[in-house]
Amino acid sequence: MCGIVGYVGKDTERVLIEKLKQLEYRGYDSAGIAVKAEQKINVFKAKGEIKNLEKTIVPLKDAQFGIGHTRWATHGKPDEINAHPHVSSDDKWVIVHNGIIENYLEIKDELTKKGMSFYSETDTETVAKLLEFHSRKVEDKMEIISETCDTIKGSYALAILNKETNGIYFAKNKSPLFIAKKGENVMIASDVICFYGFADEYYSVEDGEIGYTDANTLVFKNKFGEVVKNPIKCDFGNYNNANTYKHFMIKEIYETKNAIKNIIEYYSQEENRNKILLRKLDGIKRIKIVGCGTAYHAGLMGSKIFEEKLGIECTAYVASEFRYQDPKIGDDTLVILISQSGETADTLAAHEISKQKGAVTLALVNVEYSALAKSADISVPIKAGVEVAVASTKAYSSQLTVLYILAGLLREKFIGDKFNMADVEKLYNEFDYGNINNFKLLADVFQYNDKMFMIGRGADYCTAQEASLKIKETSYINSDTYYAGELKHGFLALIDEKTYVVVFATEKNVLSKTLCNAEEAKARGAKIILFTCFDLEPSLTENFYFVIKVKELGNALQAVLNIVPWQIIAYYTSVNKGYNPDKPRNLAKSVTVE
């Protein structure tokens, strides 16, 4: 869960810092760069955000090679020592790494016995020391890197400087890595978005490949020899990294309606629908949906939509559980894997298991060049556009919208009912960000609270789960979620006059029961915040603490309208408490480790 960048060209330090800022969403515990000129390598590292690193940098004259890194700590606390780049004992090898070296303790033990010492708590340092160890018996640099990669187990994207070589080496396994070349300038990055404004095409480094690049050379090799690659066209869509808002989170919330417009435009085209409809799905009898965090919550809602539309079994799973519980899947199963980044380690592992068991896999992704998008049988883009803030907002709404479209397309394929975009167009036309002043009032209340509860039934419970996660992620309030019908089975013991209970009541068939649950909580002293899309009699709500009303859509896309107010409330609660909602503590955007 780190960001990697490498650069061959002039003004190296400035370019590295500029690109690391684009990757900071991938990790912001610490950051560092290494730059090379002739046979001199300077390393600069700092704890915290990149602005701290900038203060430490002293430009190296004539530097034209560099690597940089933003870190989200996995092994060792976030500090300057554990920050990347890491350096070999002989100072000849300098590396940055994204991923997990699973056998690093065994390697560390073996190298310690051979007289090597270690200065950090990281798994990455063992790679730098391995490079040094193998170079004692092998001269060819590519062979040294190959032997090192053969020794390590796990996931890695590596960018490597060597004191004796004027270029950058690289290697990749199960962590994203891409390269773009423009004239004599070369850029290496863990996200293609770094190439925005630099190049129109790029190369994807595949698992098991190593390589080398300088001003005149770009070489890829695997175990069979040199690999010839065709460049891939950069597609940045509507990407614009300019931000006139205070934070990316609120900017991205307000981009939700435009994302829905993009979805309508894309899936209104028959050729794009046929990418799904023309696949061999006729034997499908079961659907499994897999995701982590926000993506899992989208899957919970999706499972309800699929069962209603298709009348077949559909179950949502947390990816980290799915991979270890021997899921009952086979060639009659469609496994839908949801991931904003398409690089989520647990979700990729779930995909691998699904393929081994013969299932048809479908990737519902935002990043169309990601590992999941490339490896699944069917790739279905959500068209949300680049999302920078760690707390997902417009991507979640887009996931729900595309799941609804996907259910309609599968109904057309399985049952024969012709799909149309009417419900999604209604969502776009009726879309409303709500009464922002009311949301700010609630945020003013929540900022002084350290716990709250959210309850709902059916689809409302799915929305409550995601709303609760947004509150937790951004403002660190302990927000718990329960099925409304479970109040009497233990949860009421937690209710007192200091408790806020958010009651989601947009499911018409259980509305009266949900309101009764609200009254049960209120009778125990709770302050009830009712969230509904219905015009209710004042007698039903006059004793509640607060009422939020949204538009009524009349279909499952109501869940999209329902989540947006809570994204906004979470944002303002975080800001009121003095936190940065774009960079919640201990979290990163792209979770590429287990």
Q: Which amino acids are annotated catalytic?
A: 2, 589
Helix axes 256-267, 270-277, angle to 10 degrees: 80
End-to-end Cα distance, the chain: 10
Is residue 535 left, alpha or beta, with left meaning phi > 0 and alpha meaning psi from -120 to 50?
A: beta
561 phi, psi to nearest 5 deg: -65, -35
Is residue 208 left, alpha or beta, with left meaning phi > 0 and alpha meaning psi from -120 to 50?
A: left
Element (H, E) at 409: helix 394-414
Return d(Cα 302, Cα 398) in angstroms, integer.
12
Element (H, E) at 210: strand 209-213
Return d(Cα 316, Cα 468) in angstroms, integer.
18
DSSP string, 555-590: STTHHHHHHHHHHHHHHHHHHHTT--TTS-TT--SS
Spell out the residues 6+ positions from residue 278 whose beta carbon is closer than 8 angstroms to its own: none
Residue 530 to residues 101, 457, 501, 541, Cα–Cα distance (Å):
48, 13, 8, 8
Residue with tokens 């990669």: 149
Element (H, E) at 211: strand 209-213
Q: Under a CB-based contact definition with an 8 Å cutoff, are residues 27 and 82 in contact?
A: no
Return d(Cα 394, Cα 113) in angstroms, integer.
52
Return d(Cα 56, Cα 341) in angstroms, integer.
31
Return d(Cα 397, Cα 379) in angstroms, integer.
18
Q: Under a CB-based contact definition with an 8 Å cutoff, are residues 238 and 385 in contact?
A: yes
What per-residue string of b and e applies to 276-313 under the rule 16 or more CB within 10 Å gives b? beeeebeebebbbbbbbbbbbbbbbbbbbbbeebbeee
Sign of CA dihedral 121, 124, 127, 128: negative
498 phi, psi to nearest 5 deg: -95, 0
Altogether, the residues listed in the chain come to a count of 594
Residue with tokens 């006139």: 244
DSSP string, 16-65: HHHHHHHHGGG--SEEEEEEEETTEEEEEEEESSHHHHHTT--PPTT--E
